[in-house]
Amino acid sequence: MKKILLVDDEPNIIMSLEYTFKKNNFEVYIARDGQEALDILENQIPDVIILDVMMPNVDGYATLEQIKKNEKLNQCKVIFLSAKNKESDIQKGLALGASDYITKPFSLKKLVDKVKGLLE
Q: By the criterion CB under 8 A, which residues form the site for other proteins?
A: 9-10, 12-13, 15-17, 19-20, 23, 53-57, 59, 61, 83-86, 104-109
Distance between CA 72 and CA 108 in Å, rounded?
29
Closest contact distance (angstroms) between CB of 74 and other proteins is 25
Closest contact distance (angstroms) between CB of 71 and other proteins is 26
**Nearest C-alpha neighbor of 115 from the set 76, 74, 69:** 76
From residue 42, alpha-carbon distances to 20, 57, 61 in Å are 25, 18, 18
Residue number with CB closer to other proteins (9 or 27) = 9
